[in-house]
Structure 1
Amino acid sequence: MGIPHLPRVSDMLMKSSIEELVFCILGKRECPVYPTELAFALDLSQDVSPQIFQRMKDIVISIVNDLKIRDSNCPVGARVAILSYNLHADYLIRFSEVYSKKQLLNELKNLDYQRSSGGRDIGSAMRFVARNVFKRTLQGPNVRKIAVFFSNGPSADASAINTAVLELSALDVAATVIAFLDLPSINRAFVVDDSGLFHVINTPVEGDYKLLLKGLHLCTLCYDKCKPDDLCKRPRALSWPAYVDATFILDSSQKMSNAEFGKVKDFLSRSLDVFDISSNPGAVSTGDRVAVVSHAPPGFKPKNRKSPVKVEFSLITYNSKGIMRNHIEKSLQQLNGEGALGHAMEWTMKNIFSTAPKPRSHKVIIVISAGETSPWDREILKKASVRAKCQGYAVFVISLGQFHNAKEVEELTSIPLEQHLVQLGRTHKPELDYAEKFVKAFVRLLRGTTKKYPPEEFKIKCDKFNSQSH
């Protein structure tokens, strides 16, 4: 999934902290406090009755009644979009189609129930909202994106929900699900959120719902970061039951420009935030461990006995993010050799992961690639990627630039691709911000669930690979 090109926003980014401070001092206390893009997705799957449809309408109308609706080009108040979904999502009202609160309420009251024979795929609906309703454009430091999904029952595709959580989280979309029945797959996906952006609200089909929606009103729709309500305490960082061994394999070859390499270094430093680094990585079993290796050193060729990587630091070298960041900033230099990702992966599994004592529950290889590997490395890369997946590694790939080899990238990445691959057309800050948030959400999702590698659908390939290797 590539990210559409974004406008230049460097000036806005530099001023954002000042603007936020001014807004906190001078901003009016209306609801919503900040310019808001608000989307509602109504469940119209086959088990939704006219009574349940009316219940969804009533809740949306009640919410809209309490909001300031944007009625001009001035970015004050909320713009509202309404969608319906079953196995697919469709617009009922687009952001651009209503110009006043009165018109919006009339449109809502006139929405008709339509019987459907389709099943329910809320994960697909969430991804549609992430990819189509909220475009990947920076609309200002205080703009909020909120999505409210209704659901009358569970959705069969739990993987699609996990993917949607990754994408919504990477886009800073606050997602709330109003559920008329228990939704275990959504609760499992949302439990890894440590930002306060994701909520499930269980509400009965009959009776008063307004008390149940009080939290949504105060802590999401009307949330004021300058003066938050006492009920809206942001969640603390979760205590994870499982820890991670993660190695970043950084493309430091001549395919990346000096400017791009500098931006990738900054991305790498910020990505460390998601890890709970072990205070004693070589001696205890608690805490995450992170390593960074670069490929490829100048002059490396197969069988010339040179190492295909430069080890920046191993899994047991450092015990704090601060020391790691200092190394990345001051010691990490571009190598400018020929790409050798396959050899780098083989070396990393043998010399970084296998030699570290007290291995963690999850093993992750995060590849940052600036283009396809060298011709003499391709066969090694194919074997290394299969071996890594079959040995239980999660292989996550961030592909930079326009000149990647799509087949090579897909063969390298763990499945499903949507959860393990971020393709960026450029290395500008907004795209790297998206990749950073996606990586962080992925790591939280990985260690907060019981997901195992390789998945069942890949094990047949592993059996074939192992039989050929002996």
Structure 2
Amino acid sequence: MFDRMREIVIAIVKDLKIRESNCPVGARVGVVSYSSSTRYLIRFSDFRSKELLLQELKALSYQRAASRRDTGASMRFVARNAFKRTLQGANMRKVAVFFSHGQTADPNSFNTAVLEYSALEILPVVIAFNNITQLHRSFAMDDSGQFQVLHIPSKGDYTLFLQGLQLCTLCYDKCKPNAACKRTRRSLPPWEYVDTAFILDNSQAMNPGEFEKLKGFLSSALDAFEVSSEPTVSSVGDRVAVVSHAAPAFKPQAQQPLAKKEFDLVTYGKTQSMKRHIRESLRQLGGEAALGHAIQWTINNVFSASPNPRKHKALIIVSAGETSSWDKEVLKKASLRAKCQGYALLVLSLGPKYNGTELEDLASRPVEQHLIQLGRIHKPELEYALRFLKPFLYLLRSGINSYPPAELRTKCNKVTSQKPRYTSRSLSLI
């Protein structure tokens, strides 16, 4: 099987124009091998001559691995290392071709890789020598139809398969696409809708310029949803709410509001109306972060108060730093209770100041699929989060992950036997 893989790689490279200088024309080629770990065989920078590259490829030899393959882990290695320093540009395309002839050891890692490839705009192609159901299911997270699984027989001619790969992936011209490369966007089952609340950190940790960028991100994020035109009476369509927290006057047990409801799940039936509210009415509060209180307040006053609940529920939490010291215990209990109630908690951490342990405890499991840490509140970083969001919503709709996961069942049995003490103005969790 190794010889056939090497033969296909050589055939692919023979038809490529290889970049031979610093001029950004042509392809750079790297090769890795993987099992449960991944290692370089050829780096992008190793060869600027097709002849030398082909010689090196022909000299590659098989090395047996004792561990099971983890395709997802290898994909993440390639994304974070091999593609780490690639040139940017409108015509720059990043394509990763993987060979597989068996099931991956960890399906979760493959799902995580697909989320990250969508966010990083890397196109993965898996050349499979047998039918791998997991790959098809995970690649369905990409609704553009660009993520591909190519089934090539372990014996016989593969020329037609490679022609399609060359024409429609490696050498695809998005300005003048070949008619044979028509891509059909994948559609979701119409009944898998979500109720989602964005919980925004409007605290003093974010400066006014960063807050304006956050508003732009939030407005763009709404495009990932199929918003219900009749959110109160219809069971068709997604519903979205936005809640701000960090009110300057709020303290534990005080009589001031816990959070500000910008709009709830049934306020608007049009995405444009939500965007107008964000643009014209969303203001920075500038107080101290109280995320734990905000989570439970949102569940009690937004989700529980809305008719016709959707099958899936998500809290998308935007954090600009640690929650307040007086909120930390409440945050632990409120986030656990939310997970046990079936909510998916996706956490977007903005800026350099954060508590890694707090964020990991807050996010749903697996953490890699539910925690996005951005070091800066800049447009490229926020665009990464936007590209992550759409396949994440597919993952949520599909039911691939369990909410709550099996590892929380013991804790959840204890939590559901207790009831939080709260009012609409104050909150105290047992």
- TM-score under structure 2 normalisation? 0.95
Alignment partner, residue 252 of structure 2: 302
| Aligned counterparts of 1:288 and 1:138: Cα–Cα separation in 2 | 38
Q: Give CA-to-partner distance per residue, 1:280-316, whole Å, 9 cap, x none.
A: 1111111111110101222011222222111111111
Distance 1:138 1:115 in 2: 34
Find the partner of 1:437 among 374, 387, 396. Answer: 387
Q: Distance in 2 between matches of 1:339 and 1:453?
A: 26
Q: Does the CA contact (< 8 Å) of 1:127 and 1:164 recur in 2?
A: yes
- SS of 2:181 mapped into structure 1: coil
Cα shift at 1:451: 2.6
1:219 aligns to what? Answer: 168
Q: Secondary structure at the match of 1:97?
A: coil
1:410, CA displacement in angstroms? 1.4
2:114–2:141 contact (8 Å) kept in structure 1: no
- The match for 1:381 is 331
Work out which of the residue numbers 168, 172, 184 in structure 2 matches 1:235. 184
RMSD in angstroms over aligned alpha carbons? 1.4
Q: 1:449 to 1:186 in 2, by over 3 A?
A: farther
For 1:80, the equivalent position in structure 2 comes to 29
Aligned to 1:244: 194
**Displacement of 1:237:** 5.0
CA distance, structure 1, for counterparts of residue 230 and residue 211 of structure 2: 30
What is the aligned partner in structure 2 of residue 369 from structure 1?
319
The AA in structure 1 aligned to 2:127 is: I
1:197 and 2:154 matched:
no
| Inter-partner Cα distance in structure 2 for 1:172 and 1:382 | 34
| Contact 2:145–2:185, Cα closer than 8 Å, also in 1 | no
Tell me how far 1:60 sits from its aligned partner: 0.8
Q: CA deviation at 1:118?
A: 2.2
What code does the residue aligned with 1:258 have? P
2-structure distance, mates of 1:189, 1:237: 12
The residue type paired with residue 98 of structure 1 is F
> Is the contact made by 2:146 and 2:183 (CA closer than 8 Å) also made in structure 1?
no
Q: How many residues align?
A: 419
Query: In the alignment, which of 125, 134, 137 is matched to residue 83 of structure 2?
Result: 134
Whether 2:115 is the aligned partner of 1:166: answer yes
Q: Which 5+ residue runs of structure 2 have no aligned equivalent? A: 420-429
The SS at the match of 1:299 is coil
Provide structure 1 residue ranges, at least 5 long, that are not aligned to the other structure: 1-51
Q: What amino acid maps onto 2:36 in structure 1?
A: L
Does 2:102 align with 1:153? yes
Provide runs of 4+ in structure 1 moved above 6 Å.
none
Aligned twin of 1:91 = 40
Q: Is the 8 A contact 2:145 2:186 kept in 1?
A: no
Residue of structure 2 in register with 1:62 after alignment: 11
- Which of 242, 247, 264 is the equivalent residue of 1:292? 242
Q: Aligned to 2:377, which of 427, 437, 458? A: 427
TM-score (normalizing by structure 1): 0.87
1:7-27 CA-to-partner distances (Å, cap 9, x unmatched) read xxxxxxxxxxxxxxxxxxxxx
CA distance in 1, matches of 2:318, 2:92: 30
State the one-letter code of the partner of 1:103: L
Residues 318-329 of structure 1: matches in 2 within 5 Å?
318-329=268-279
Q: C-alpha distance in 1, partners of 2:414/2:76?
A: 34
Bigger mean CA deviation after superposition, 149-158 or 115-124: 115-124
Question: For 2:207 and 2:337, how far apart are their aligned partners in 1?
Answer: 31
Q: What is the deviation of 1:99?
A: 1.0
For 2:65 and 2:248, how far apart are their aligned partners in 1? 62
Deviations 1:185-243 (A, max 9, x none): 11110112112331001111100011123322121111111111112223235133411
Residue 278, structure 1, aligned to residue 263, structure 2: no
1:349 maps to which residue? 299
Residue 22 of structure 1 is matched in structure 2 by none
Provide the residue aligned with 1:411 in structure 2: 361
- 1:451 corresponding residue in structure 2: 401
Moved more, 137-146 or 216-225: 137-146
Report if aligned partners of 1:180, 1:204 keep a CA contact under 8 Å in 2. yes
Q: Secondary structure in 2 aligned to 1:95?
A: coil
